[in-house]
Structure 1
Amino acid sequence: MKPSWWNNNYTVLMITWMGWISIYLARSVLPPVLPVLSAELGMTHAQSGLLETAYLIGYIISKLPAGVLSDRYGPRRVLASSMIGYGAATFLVSYAQGFTDIFALRFLVGLFQGVHLPVANALLSDRFGDKQSRAIGFNESGANVGNTLAFPVAVSILSVWGWRTAFMVLSVPAFLLSVATFLFMKDEPKTQQTDDPEENHNIREYLWVLIPYALSHATYNLVLRTTFTFIPSFLVEFKGMEVAAAGFMAMALPFAGIFAKMGSGFIVERTGPKYAICGSAALSAVFLASLVWYPGESLLALNLLILGLTLYSFSPIIYSSTTSSLPSGLKAMGLGMVTMFGNIVGAVSTSVVGALIDGRGYGFTFLAISVVTILASVLIFAVMSKK
């Protein structure tokens, strides 16, 4: 029985939140098993980075059509269908015979998962109004819950049954949630176009508003893709940890991100997006660099926790600031544009970072990314300071 204060807005919020959990259970199975998978299939670090690039190419392609599909078929059908798609693609990775197979399937995972962010956050922005930053922050924390769960579950399955079974098991929640979405989520009323020029807007009118958020998302993706893809391998190869221990240690990043995202709405309400975004970017750079500045393991867990708090706090701020700056009919498209640009940077950066690690090592690569992130935060601050 539902409590008296419960309404359909909270049903939508819980479905989109659990959607992020199932997305990251399917998505995050790869990094903790990557050392074993790469060794078995003979892949280099550059090829490992290309697997994330494949995912992001698919993720990017579906960003802009997501809003159109949502308007035409409704968020309920789009979200539920995407869950079936990425669940099936993740399951099929368990039958992959080489790099090419996994590359193609990770592309499909990204293609189906890419619609969730713009569709879900635009939906929550309309439903929660001036409290949207808190709702979106809570919603985005689901990604970190899924990421946190995926690491130990994947490592546990890996140690007993192997990496192929890990992909099978972590694809199942997507199928279950698709059924729940069809059953419990209601169809949304379609947005009506009017002849009033005050209500009909063009996305070009808002490009200057979107530019700093697109730059912010690109900076976020640079650091996120580096840590998401390479931290488990970094802990094994640079810190000398065992694969299982590295998988559990890497869990500190997304675990801290759960609390960072839930608190992000309160942060932006008090500081504004400019200081919240730029401060988080600069601090993320500092704590990424400190991973290689201090070679010992005594402060490693604390370093990863703080990096997780700073890194994951500013993505919901970017999303809620973007949607709150746009009229209802443009929210999904505008958010799709912002995240598409950031994901393009992420798609390019993973293969570049992998190649840098192959050629120059983890120390040089992590410090270089930290410097770029500091410079980017200064640029974003300057752009957001202009009217």
Structure 2
Amino acid sequence: MNSTSHFPKRYFMVAGTFLLALLLYIDRICISVAKDPIAAALDLSDKQMGWVLAAFSLGYAFFQTPSGIMADKFGPRKILASIVTIWSVFTALTGAAWNFISLLVLRFLFGAGEAGAFPGMSRAIYNWFPLKERGIVTGINFSGSRLGAAFALPLVAWLINDYGWRTTFVVLGCIGVLWAFGWYALFRDKPEDHKGISEPEKDYILATRQDRHVSLTKERINFGQLLHSKNMWLAMGQYFCSNFTFFFALTWLFPHIKQEYGLETIEAGFYTAVPLIFGAFGNWFSGWLIDRTFKSGKWNRSRILPASLGFALAAIGLLGSIYMDSAVGAIIFLSLAIFGADMTLPPSWAFCVDIGKKHSGAVSGTMNMAGNIGAFITALLFPYLLAWTGSTTLFFIVGAILNGIAIFLWLQMKPQKHFTEY
């Protein structure tokens, strides 16, 4: 079959997961924009807000592998609809927080609710997409998260200014519940079960989605089996480094730019949206580079080259931002850093589907768990290092060093080896 002879129905699934990623990061970044009014209303210090931001990452990290295993077992249709409903409820409840502890607990539970989103998407991608399309599809999904965050910064700043932070969280929670109903009604776990897909497209997907390796896959796995894999540990290590850089953009970039350069709230929102838009470009470029390289017969290079290039750009961007004395200069270098950091995402998640196959939900969830431990450390390290040194310089140097370490890790990764083999 020529898979492009008609508009492939599988791309409608990408539209659904793109919107999910968009929503995911609108909900996630809202807390960063609302930092000042929340801190004022609840009388919180910067360090306490650091713990609030970190609590999300901890909940998100802890529930990655379990939610990935559930996506593999029960299918992404039920799991994604359920978890979006759960995290949307906790998004809305954030607006009811009355003190530091209540906010801490709500953000932890919100993070736990979001944990299954990308592992569920990975399992859906395995079921629905040929191997050679995996890079660009992953890039499109992650670009949705960056565009969502970029879109949210000025929009949420406006909502909070006009309607207050409590109302804003309730509105965002309601939108999430609507997505969950739509996904459950329209999506099916397998192309074989979807009445709207043509027989030629169905046959094409089944012939090209890596099922020939099914003999390597056990029916059930546990966390201990994953941790016996060198590929798994390497994926976790490099993703820890990636999230350290990117999570800064989701948590402390907005308050950092606002305070460092004396900007108004909405102005700071527009400035800090720019690196996230460049993050979307990084995802698209990396996804294109992955598939182009893969089609030339270089499977390993198609994952390792985009990731290594991305980590190098991220290190350069972080170091360059240290020397800028204007908001525009800082944003230019931080845009380069986030473009690079986001280039590492499509190869990372494609790698998890490569080595995980029918367990790609569990494998990607375990990698994302490690990544969000990096995010947890970022959220805390930024305010503590700032208080200790009086400067952001050391934080950016640490981030650059981690990006360099990640390149070394990628050079040892083997995308063609199932996690039970290497």
TM-score, normalised by the number of residues in structure 2: 0.83
Tell whether the 8 Å contact from 1:223 to 1:369 is kept in structure 2 after alignment. Answer: no
Q: 1:44 to 1:205 in 2, by over 3 A?
A: closer
- Please give the per-residue CA displacement for 1:332-378, whole angstroms capped at 9, x wherever unaligned: 11111111111122223321222112222343333332342244235
1:101-140 alignment, distance < 5 Å: 101-130=102-131, 131-140=133-142
Tell whether the 8 Å contact from 2:314 to 2:400 is kept in structure 1 after alignment. Answer: no
Is the counterpart of residue 100 in structure 1 residue 101 in structure 2? yes
Is the counterpart of residue 282 in structure 1 residue 312 in structure 2? yes
Q: How far 1:267 sits from its partner (Å)?
A: 2.0
- Please give the per-residue CA displacement for 1:50-91, whole angstroms capped at 9, x wherever unaligned: 122211121122211123322443211111111111111111
Query: For 2:234 and 2:74, how far apart are their aligned partners in 1?
Result: 31
Tell whether the 8 Å contact from 2:318 to 2:397 is kept in structure 1 after alignment. Answer: no
Query: For 1:197 and 1:165, how far apart are their aligned partners in 2?
Result: 52
Query: For 1:251 and 1:70, how far apart are their aligned partners in 2?
Result: 32
Q: Which moved more, 1:67-76 or 1:339-348?
A: 67-76
**Aligned amino acid, residue 145 of structure 1:** L
1:109-188 alignment, distance < 5 Å: 109-130=110-131, 131-188=133-190
Is the counterpart of residue 14 in structure 1 residue 15 in structure 2? yes
What is the aligned counterpart of 1:339 among 336, 358, 368? 368
Q: Which moved more, 1:16-25 or 1:274-283?
A: 274-283
Instruction: Name stretches of at least 5 consecutive residues in structure 1 with no aligned partner.
Output: 191-195
Residue 309 of structure 1 is matched in structure 2 by 339
- Please give the per-residue CA displacement for 1:27-47, whole angstroms capped at 9, x wherever unaligned: 111111212322332222222
**Aligned amino acid, residue 23 of structure 1:** L
Equivalent position SS for 2:130: helix
Q: Which moved more, 1:81-90 or 1:233-242?
A: 233-242
Q: Which moved more, 1:307-316 or 1:270-279?
A: 270-279
Q: Which moved more, 1:202-211 or 1:280-289?
A: 202-211
Q: How far 1:7 sits from its partner (Å)?
A: 4.6
Query: For 2:240 and 2:63, how far apart are their aligned partners in 1?
Result: 17
Residue 193 of structure 1 is matched in structure 2 by none
Tell whether the 8 Å contact from 1:45 to 1:357 is kept in structure 2 after alignment. Answer: no
Is the counterpart of residue 207 in structure 1 residue 246 in structure 2? no
**Aligned amino acid, residue 353 of structure 1:** F
Tell whether the 8 Å contact from 1:125 to 1:320 is kept in structure 2 after alignment. Answer: no
Q: How far 1:163 sits from its partner (Å)?
A: 1.6
Is the counterpart of residue 242 in structure 1 residue 244 in structure 2? no
**Aligned amino acid, residue 121 of structure 1:** S
- Give RMSD over aligned pairs: 2.8
Residue 419 of structure 2 is matched in structure 1 by none
Equivalent position SS for 2:104: helix
Residue 384 of structure 2 is matched in structure 1 by 355
- Please give the per-residue CA displacement for 1:289-321, whole angstroms capped at 9, x wherever unaligned: 222211123434433432332121211211012
Residue 369 of structure 1 is matched in structure 2 by 398
Query: For 2:374 and 2:332, how far apart are their aligned partners in 1?
Result: 28
What is the aligned counterpart of 1:383 among 393, 398, 412? 412
Query: For 1:290 and 1:36, how far apart are their aligned partners in 2?
Result: 31
Is the counterpart of residue 219 in structure 1 residue 238 in structure 2? no
Query: For 2:31 and 2:101, how far apart are their aligned partners in 1?
Result: 15
Query: For 2:393 and 2:43, how far apart are their aligned partners in 1?
Result: 25
Tell whether the 8 Å contact from 1:278 to 1:380 is kept in structure 2 after alignment. Answer: no
**Aligned amino acid, residue 110 of structure 1:** G
**Aligned amino acid, residue 291 of structure 1:** S
Q: How far 1:165 sits from its partner (Å)?
A: 2.0
**Aligned amino acid, residue 174 of structure 2:** V
Tell whether the 8 Å contact from 1:24 to 1:144 is kept in structure 2 after alignment. Answer: yes
- Please give the per-residue CA displacement for 1:254-277, whole angstroms capped at 9, x wherever unaligned: 111222212211223435322322
Tell whether the 8 Å contact from 1:60 to 1:111 is kept in structure 2 after alignment. Answer: yes
TM-score, normalised by the number of residues in structure 1: 0.90
**Aligned amino acid, residue 323 of structure 1:** V
Instruction: Name stretches of at least 5 consecutive residues in structure 2 with no aligned partner.
Output: 194-213, 294-300, 416-421
Is the counterpart of residue 230 in structure 1 residue 231 in structure 2? no
